[in-house]
Structure 1
Amino acid sequence: MFKSPLGILFCFIFSSIYAQQSEPSVEEICKQVTPGTTILYPNTCDKWFRCSSSFSVKDYEDGTCVFGLYFNKDTGRCESIENVVCPYASPETSNRCAFEEDGTFLEDPNNCSSYIFCDNGKEMQSTCPYGLIFHAEKAECVYSTDYNCLVKKANPICKAVPKGLLLANINDCNKFYKCDEKAQLISLECNEGEAYNYSTLECVPRNRVVCHPLAPELEPEVDVCGSENNTVVGYIADTESCSAYYICAKKEAGKPDRQPMHLTCQNGYFFDNNTLSCRDRMNVKCYLDRCKGIGNKYINVIGDCASYAHCKNGVTGKIGKCKTGYFFDERLQVCTQETITYAACMP
């Protein structure tokens, strides 16, 4: 029975380095696949392992095929050795022609100059003449200048899981992996505005996604740059702060920028949407709470330059008014007979 210390932290990262490592453990594989997935036990042909619904090994299940059978990871069953291609079997025992029609040519995954001919369900190994390589699509030997042959070894994790299986990327909820027909691990990414849903194996809107438990939390999206096919590009005032603003970038296919740059003017300045500049706060009319970011002070009130409001903990409090004939000067923090015409308090 397979056992593992509990509480161990796995930071299994898919990369080019991974291809150089030894075969992954069942824990490492089960970290990526959906709970309940049955895999071929690494480095075996007849053992299987069903990943648990949690990240422990408390409720796992494993088994071994009876004598004369191999485990078929694509069907999830034990089958005749003659009908199963085991990725861990030696070339002498592995039969890649088991599921191919007679007369089929197969490329040799380890040698560009070699190929396999399927005859009566058996492999016939052959080699191209000197200087030629095997063209997989044309099923013939050609000059190396006529075909780009890339010898790709199967990805370690794709050897153990069913072909076509989707796997979560524990480093990025926007991305996921797929094991293709040749056991190569392909990195894929969801469309903008979507993320990979770990529980349903699909890309869904970010606000409905269930990310892999080990993946970092998604960066919050900001809905200020319009909607699809009705986007806003450029500078937009923050609707919650007089001094802040967004920069909406232009995206492809008419999609809005969901992660615009968010910036703040220097202390004492407000963003002016008319001039697209940071201006002295007294020269900008802002209908938001002008006390935000201010300590225990008084500010002018929009629409009445004779009135003032008390700021407490960055929030507007009680409102007062200078006596008749006086105006409130926010800069000096006093009522004065000098006429005040700051844009901040004008009607």
Structure 2
Amino acid sequence: MDKTTIRILLATTVVAWVNAESEYLSVRDICSRMPAGIFILRPNSCNNWLQCPTSPDAQDYDEGFCAYGLYFNKDSNRCDSIENVSCPFESTQTKPENRCATAKDGAFLADPENCNGFVFCANGEETRSSCPKGLLFHPSKSACVYPKEYKCPKKSENISADPICNSIATGTIFADITDCTKYHQCTNGGKLDSLQCADGQAFNHTTLKCVPRKAAVCHPLAPELQPELEVCGTEGNIRVGYIADEASCSGYYICAKEDDGKPDRKPTHLKCQNGYFFDSNTWSCRDRLNVKCNLDRCEGMDNKYVNVAGDCGAYARCKNGVTINTGKCESDYFFDERTQGCTPHKISYIACAA
């Protein structure tokens, strides 16, 4: 049985935290996932930047606004000319109505809507014009040039699919707060990649690297890292199928057959319904009296008496599912768990057989 089949049988629901987010994350949401001190672009802004707290204990955010006519470049952590920055939130912004109001008289500015066009400033007023056909306006040279001399920047696309990558630099690596063995990276186009550490490793959110599980410091928001189980055997002795958990009479693991030929280190753990114990011989949940279990048979039995493994004349008194004391019927009498009393009729339940 492969792991995919097991997951389908158990109707496991996987919730993707990214898709559950609203269109814009709050600054606190973003910084809670990021390495300390990282610079971000405030959601739904093009010129407002913030620096996340420099330590987990710090609460304050450093903040700034780019000078007029500039956008914040989240990849270089500084303000830059609008022509050089692709702002993921640009569709929500209102561009400066008149950039010539602060430009030198006679200046030529790029037309953000048209690579072939430009703006000429005279007496603080804008005059829009275009280069001859086949030429592009080069902002740095303030001149019309051939396409081979200038690459027209791509227009900002609409809000990218992932909200957190809109505000942080491309290539940023940060922890997955749902699983300590995984991490995320923002790639070109605002795409969020989910990555998995190798077997036996987990993601250390303080060093932003995968390290041996025992050395990993998980993100504070991530679930506690559970130790890898060896119930499914070793690489030289792999166990596949249904295995008693050896911690209770009703519990068992499902060890999947892994594609890489290694033991399943994350087997699914289940328990039989009340009144039934797991039978390793038949891989089934059976009436508790028809299963031999050498563990505490008071499991699931509150304030009752149960048969004792290996002696059908003995009994155990239960409280809150555990044995509190034991006793034995008179000579030639047997204890019957079903009737909760001693009887002269021979009892031969598998549960108490020698």
- Asked if 1:242 is matched to 2:243, the reply is no
- Asked if 1:85 is matched to 2:91, the reply is no
User: What is the match of residue 233 of structure 1?
Assistant: 240
Q: Could you say if the C-alpha distance between residues 252 and 70 of structure 1 is closer, same or farther in structure 2, counting changes exceeding 3 Å? A: same
Q: Distance in 2 between matches of 1:234 and 1:276?
A: 9
User: What is the match of residue 143 of structure 1?
Assistant: none
The partner residue of 1:277 within 265, 274, 284 is: 284
8 A Cα contact 2:39 2:49, kept in partner: yes
Gaps of 5+ in 1: 1-11, 97-115, 127-150
The partner residue of 1:188 within 194, 202, 208 is: 194
1:183 alignment partner, SS class: helix
TM-score by length of 2: 0.61
1:240 alignment partner, SS class: coil
Q: Once superposed, what is the RMSD of the aligned Cα atoms?
A: 4.3
- Show the 5 A alignment for 1:122-201: 122-123=150-151, 155=160, 157-169=164-176, 175-180=182-187, 182-191=188-197, 196-201=203-208
- Asked if 1:292 is matched to 2:299, the reply is yes
Amino acid at match of 1:87: S
**C-alpha displacement of 1:293:** 1.3
Q: Distance in 1 between matches of 2:55 and 2:185?
A: 22
Q: Which has the higher contact order (CA 8 A, sep 6+)?
A: 2
Q: Could you say if the C-alpha distance between residues 296 and 160 of structure 1 is closer, same or farther in structure 2, counting changes exceeding 3 Å? A: closer
**C-alpha displacement of 1:169:** 4.7
Q: Distance in 2 between matches of 1:310 and 1:30?
A: 55
- 1:42-62 deviation per Cα after TM superposition (whole angstroms, max 9, x unaligned): 6445x6421125799942113
Q: Could you say if the C-alpha distance between residues 289 and 86 of structure 1 is closer, same or farther in structure 2, counting changes exceeding 3 Å? A: same
Q: Distance in 1 between matches of 2:164 and 2:245?
A: 47
2:84 alignment partner, SS class: coil
Q: How many corresponding residue pairs?
A: 280
The partner residue of 1:260 within 268, 286, 290 is: 268
8 A Cα contact 2:218 2:224, kept in partner: no
User: What is the match of residue 6 of structure 1?
Assistant: none
Amino acid at match of 1:52: P
Gaps of 5+ in 2: 1-15, 96-109, 116-145
TM-score by length of 1: 0.62
- Asked if 1:306 is matched to 2:334, the reply is no
The partner residue of 1:211 within 216, 219, 224 is: 219
Amino acid at match of 2:151: E
**C-alpha displacement of 1:279:** 2.9
**C-alpha displacement of 1:71:** 5.5
Amino acid at match of 1:200: T
Q: Distance in 2 between matches of 1:193 and 1:187?
A: 21
**C-alpha displacement of 1:289:** 0.5
- 1:135-184 deviation per Cα after TM superposition (whole angstroms, max 9, x unaligned): xxxxxxxxxxxxxxxx966736545422211244556656543222x333
User: What is the match of residue 319 of structure 1?
Assistant: 326
- 1:288-335 deviation per Cα after TM superposition (whole angstroms, max 9, x unaligned): 001111133332323333222222332223322233333333333333
Q: Could you say if the C-alpha distance between residues 152 and 197 of structure 1 is closer, same or farther in structure 2, counting changes exceeding 3 Å? A: farther
User: What is the match of residue 4 of structure 2?
Assistant: none
8 A Cα contact 1:51 1:60, kept in partner: yes
